[in-house]
Amino acid sequence: MHVANPSLALPNVVLTDESLGRLSGWLAVQTGASRVTVTDEGRLGGGAVAFNLALILDVDGGPRAGRHACVLRAESAGRLAASIGRRREFAVLSAAVAGGVLAPEPLFFCDDPGVLGPDFLIMRRAEGGGGFNVVKADAPEPELARELGRQLGLLHRVMPGAPGLERLPEPPACPAQEAIAQLRDWIGDLARRDPVLAWGLRWLEVNAPPPEAVVLCHRDFHGGNCLVKDGRLSAILDWEFAGFGDPMEDLGWFCARSWRFRRLHRESGGNGDRDDLYAGYEETSGRRVDPRRVAYWETAAYLRWAALALQQGERHCSGAEPSLELALTGRRLPEIEMELLRHLRAQGRANRASGPARETAATPADPPEAASDVPVERVA
């Protein structure tokens, strides 16, 4: 496992009077204004990869004259290998907004180190709450689940070749094989020493689906990265992992138990049923949901979350970005592995119940019966 370029780790942004002056001057040029006054409203919670600051921009003159509530997203120390960086994230946000997705409007991008140091983008600030706010209702919320599906469907209409996405890595010939290679690279030697990770990676290899459509994927689509206001979806956040892949990848990630916020019986991200999520997706995407492919990418989701958790822990342990939150994230591996075992055991049962076994002699056996009987909440 590794953090990309740990020796080049960038410090978090601190807006002093001097740096605020530089930012104000740079924004005045970008907006064609006579003056831009920047008010720092403090660091925002969440966003474990990028550094987020709430800003108010008071623009005097020019086409953007007025007051704007914004968020500044800067590169954080110890950037993860999966992160696409702020320049590419700006391009992805632009493509998503152009496609009708409820993403924050990107306003400005800066790669001049003389302004604040690290690259940063500025986007409009959306209102609402994320995480438990998305799943807090006592009863399932079918309309919210459908709307989340609709938004994914809109995103997945953005294809390779869309304007502005030339900077993204080339679309993979086979998303499944690319994902396996990335996971092995990210997890490193632990992929050989840890039996659960090794077993999961082998399962992915044996069951890899053939390539079909390749679309723009969010790759971190879950309730913690969605904002809800008055029971309605208001924005989808944190696009730093976006890239081209299999459209079922985002559905598998969203439905993984890791992102249900303890509403484990609600398989659509903790807020509803899969059927509602899938129905909304099919309304806007122009394609049918393939449950078997979703199940495959749900397996990949647990392994990817394990890799990311290990990398977050490494950010702390390496000294790149000391953080109790990052250290604790790195300790979640046993919990994630338990969920992976539960999922693969369920897949084995489903395959046997649906007809002749798809497994070959090379297919790994089901995980031990006892493993799935341990509640995830008990795993340290």
Adjacent-strand bridge partners of 115: none
**Is the CB of residue 120 less than 8 Å from the CB of residue 65?**
no
**53 part of a folded domain:** no
pLDDT tens-digit map of 223-258: 889 998 888 899 999 999 999 999 999 999 999 998
**196 part of a folded domain:** yes
pLDDT for the residue numbered 146? 95
CATH number for the domain including 345? 3.90.1200.10
**26 part of a folded domain:** no
pLDDT tens-digit map of 101-135: 999 999 999 999 999 999 999 999 999 887 666 66
The closest alpha carbon to 346, from 270, 275, 264, 276, belongs to 264
**69 part of a folded domain:** no
4: pLDDT strictly greater than 50: no
Cβ within 8 Å of residue 1, ≥6 positions away: 186, 187, 188, 190, 307, 310, 311, 314
Q: Provide the domain count of the chain.
A: 1
83: pLDDT strictly greater than 80: yes
214: pLDDT strictly greater than 90: yes
**Structure confidence at residue 53 as a pLDDT band (50, 70, 90):** very high
List the domain range (segments joined by +) for residue 353: 132-367
Count of beta carbons in the 10 Å neighbourhood of residue 68: 17
DSSP E strands in the chain: the ranges are: 35-43, 51-60, 66-74, 106-110, 120-124, 215-217, 226-229, 232-236, 243-245
Distance CA 149, CA 280 (A): 4
pLDDT tens-digit map of 332-346: 889 999 999 999 998
106-110 and 120-124 strand pairing: antiparallel
Higher pLDDT, 13 or 176: 176
**320 part of a folded domain:** yes
The closest alpha carbon to 123, from 110, 111, 108, belongs to 108
**298 part of a folded domain:** yes
CA atoms within 13 Å, Cβ hemisphere of 200 = 34
Count of beta carbons in the 10 Å neighbourhood of residue 203: 23
Q: How far is CA 38 from CA 63, 106, 213, in A?
A: 17, 17, 44
**67 part of a folded domain:** no
The closest alpha carbon to 147, from 217, 78, 83, 221, belongs to 221
Q: What does the block give as tokens for 111?
A: 């790669």
- Interval 153-175 mean pLDDT: 95
Distance CA 53, CA 51 (A): 7
Place of tokens 């730093």: 240
Higher pLDDT, 313 or 148: 148
Q: What's the whole-model pTM score? A: 0.85
